Structure 1
């Protein structure tokens, strides 16, 4: 089976360490899915290319022809990898603008891997106090391992806490979530109804 993975990167520069981290996470997730007998179809979304489109959406309430397919891709993804630079101890304004224009049900039940880059390791806490609650609010399924990359992480190779090890662990968790956890139904009005079929199956 082929799983659709959408990778949203909010880096502002070219080249961008945020995009580099996004690429490494998507490659590791593809490899993890192959290890589980599945294939990955990866779509990269660079938010800097849609900055004006996002502003137009905020002003008009409607996505233009360039932004609409991006929003559709995110809503239809089997999993999302979301990577942002950290500014002022939180996700970037560009990243938040993208989240603001998503349909409120777009990520319901979707496995999400959150990651970030920053100038100091002290900013890594933003993943837990900003990124994780944001996607929990959107009713996404955020994998346990969040990945933060500070400048000194890129060359570290000497312990299990290195960036490479964190990427591999997070990618494995996302692959497990994609292959083992069925996506939640998004039928209007039934978001909070338990899956009684699954509950009864566990009884036997």
Structure 2
């Protein structure tokens, strides 16, 4: 949503107030009956999005408007999204990028992964997502598994070049997968 939370809440409060046929002053008096000292000027500021009310105020507004609309959950005053989900008791989930194990938190990330990302023209985060998609771990872990524990630096380099080529070939498939899952 491009508008701010305060503006969205203000629009919803104004819409419900107007549906009830109430003035800003009447809403202010009704909210004050529910323990929040409100004035007509405060209602105007909230409806304009200049002030974002806290949860205590939103509860009082919902109770005040319920005298006209019937039982009214606080979530009806909120914009759709995480805020509504949180008030409704829905558990929060991390965004997709967090699930992709960001590179800054990976203990398996090495300089070889930095170099491979650069070779493929990807930033570290996108390279980490690509290798996670293809192998389920970093490119350097894949290299080490293939090369073996007693591999020479030359063998590790040769194996890493093969891993990079596989990733280069998988790149279009991964980009399509990302495009499909972001829709």
Do the two structures share a fold, i.e. TM-score over 0.5?
no
After TM superposition, the score normalised by the length of structure 1 is 0.26
> More strand by proportion, 1 or 2?
1
Higher relative helix content: 2
Q: Which has the higher contact order (CA 8 A, sep 6+)?
A: 1
| Structure with greater Cα Rg | 2
TM-score by length of 2: 0.28
